[in-house]
């Protein structure tokens, strides 16, 4: 049986033959068979991450080299396992995936690796050592954002924790990091903790329930969907509170809104970048086409960090002149701002993120040579490993209130 690696070589030859004008019968028939495997779907983050990969796959020269197939399996690990099995059996060259579990998929991933399939995980991670994990999971969102909120509250107050998807490695790492900070401050009290599934509407509903029980909340620590928490508070009255959240356009614009600030809103936008999917896809393609040699590893994506005074609205379709959010007439409030990266993903723009459209005239640009290795997080991106002594080291902010 022809292995995935052999098929990959055939795809490279096919592209080379086409570029020099060889007759069709001199060209190999195979393209790279790349699968985009989503587990959880249905929110803006997941849609944008998928759309970026789709746009890149349609951008020259990848448009002549890649056959991209998208599979959405849902939140049941067994469903994603079955999806992986089918992809392997169908001769996948690479699987670019948001995994629903850090451990449940390992056996199937190992089988695929043994058959020559490249596994590139983005944002969420797995502990199987043959997979590549492209994630900002160890970059410190939880601890840095929690310290920012503690600073805003002066070290005391009642707070809500708005989490992601139960059992997911991203949610667990972020929450562990946040609680490492909150637990150091006895006067910080977590009065409500709920899963919002990284969705604005669900966050709004769950925050409204928490507000009914705790209308005197002093601050909110939230993962994606954080703009829903603002909406819930506005529905409940004319008071807002300091927040640490991710990077929806609605939240980022609200942080810089003087009227919102007068109502009590302050904080930081530091969320998960959907751009990780595009970075993972381009790394996989550079390996498949022989442009990069890279052993399986944990690869760190940098942690975004935007405070109210750093918010800058973009005038065009891309991030230029240090702008970092699009205006409401261009994107919905749920649009995840860290979906573009002018260094790693110069080929795509806001329209690419919204609907998967490639940019006219764009061509795939090489990635920077350096790949930053991520730290070990046992049970999340590695198994037989030791976590670093400074696992929860603050990298973006200093405490202004001592524990």
Residues 15-33: tens digit of each pLDDT: 443 333 333 343 444 899 9
Tokens of 323: 């702008």
- Residue 194: is its pLDDT beyond 50? yes
pLDDT at 167 (0 to 100): 82
Sign of the four-CA dihedral 48, 49, 54, 59: positive
d(CA 219, CA 209): 15
Please report where in the chains the tokens 């530091």 appear, as a residue: 270
User: What are the two backbone dihedrals, phi and then psi, of residue 366, each rounded to the nearest 5 degrees?
Assistant: -65, 150
C-alpha dist (Å) from residue 160 to 110, 154, 174, 219: 39, 16, 14, 7
Tell me which residue has tokens 């699968």.
Answer: 35
* pLDDT surpasses 50 at 13: no
223: how many CB neighbours lie within 10 A of its CB?
29
Kindly give, in sequence order, each residue whose CB lies less than 8 Å from that of residue 249, ignoring residues fewer than 6 positions away. 325, 326, 328, 331, 332, 333, 334, 335, 336, 337
In the chain the domains, ranked by start, together with CATH numbers, are: 4-136+273-302+340-355 (3.40.50.2300), 141-269 (3.40.50.2300)
Between these two residues, 170 and 333, which has the higher pLDDT value?
333
Q: Which pLDDT does position 18 carry in this prediction?
A: 39
Tell me the per-residue pLDDT of 132-191, one tens digit each, with 9 for 90 and over.
999 998 899 999 999 999 999 999 999 999 999 888 888 999 999 999 999 999 999 999
Non-local (6+) Cβ contacts of 348 within 8 A are 52, 55, 56, 59, 278, 340, 358, 359, 362
Rounded to a whole number of angstroms, the distance between the first and last alpha carbons of the chain is: 62
12: confidence class by pLDDT, cuts 50, 70, 90: very low
Q: In sequence order, what are the residues at sequence separation of 6 or more whose Cβ sits closer than 8 angstroms to the Cβ of residue 314?
A: 320, 323, 324, 325, 326, 327, 330, 350
DSSP state of 325: B
| DSSP assignment string, 148-183 | HHHHHHTT-EEEEEEE-STT-HHHHHHHHHHHHHHT
pLDDT at 75: 85
Beta-carbon-side half-sphere exposure of residue 262 (alpha carbons within 13 Å): 4
pLDDT (tens digit, 9 = 90+) per residue, 197-233? 999 999 999 999 999 999 999 999 999 999 999 999 9
- Whole-number Å distance between alpha carbons of 177 and 164: 14
145 pairs with which residues across the strands? Answer: none
């Amino acid at each position: 049986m022809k292995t995935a690696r052999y098929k990959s070589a055939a795809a490279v030859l096919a592209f080379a033959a086409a570029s020099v004008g060889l007759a069709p019968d001199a060209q190999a028939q195979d393209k790279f068979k790349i699968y985009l495997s989503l587990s959880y779907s249905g929110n803006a983050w997941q849609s944008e991450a998928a759309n970026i990969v789709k746009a890149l796959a349609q951008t020259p020269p990848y448009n002549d080299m890649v056959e991209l197939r998208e599979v959405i399996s849902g939140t049941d690990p067994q469903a994603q396992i079955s999806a992986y099995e089918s992809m392997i059996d169908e001769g996948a060259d690479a699987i670019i995936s948001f995994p629903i579990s850090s451990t449940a998929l390992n056996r199937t991933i190992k089988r695929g690796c043994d058959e020559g399939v490249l596994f590139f995980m983005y944002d969420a991670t797995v502990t199987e050592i043959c997979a590549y994990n492209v994630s900002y999971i160890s970059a410190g969102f939880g601890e840095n954002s929690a310290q920012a909120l503690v600073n805003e509250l002066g070290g005391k107050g009642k707070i809500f924790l708005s989490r992601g998807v139960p059992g997911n490695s991203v949610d667990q790492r972020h929450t562990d990091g946040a609680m490492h900070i909150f637990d150091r401050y006895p006067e910080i009290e977590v009065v409500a903790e709920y899963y919002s599934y990284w969705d604005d509407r669900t966050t709004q509903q769950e925050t409204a329930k928490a507000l009914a029980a705790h209308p005197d909340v002093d601050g909110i620590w939230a993962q994606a969907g954080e703009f829903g928490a603002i909406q819930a508070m506005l529905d409940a009255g004319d008071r807002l509170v300091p927040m640490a959240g991710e990077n929806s356009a609605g939240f980022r614009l609200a942080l810089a809104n003087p009227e919102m600030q007068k109502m009590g809103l302050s904080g930081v936008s530091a969320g998960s970048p959907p751009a990780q999917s595009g970075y993972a896809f381009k790394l996989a393609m550079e390996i498949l086409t022989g442009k990069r040699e890279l052993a399986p590893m944990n690869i760190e994506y940098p942690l975004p960090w935007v405070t109210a005074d750093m918010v800058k609205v973009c005038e065009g379709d891309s991030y230029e002149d240090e702008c970092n959010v699009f205006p409401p007439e261009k994107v919905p409030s749920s649009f995840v701002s860290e979906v573009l990266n002018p260094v790693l993903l110069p080929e795509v723009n806001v329209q690419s993120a919204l609907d998967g459209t490639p940019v006219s005239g764009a061509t795939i640009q090489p990635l920077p040579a350096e790949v930053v290795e991520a730290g070990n997080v046992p049970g999340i991106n590695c198994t037989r490993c030791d976590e670093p002594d400074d696992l929860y080291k603050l990298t973006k902010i200093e405490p202004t209130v001592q524990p």
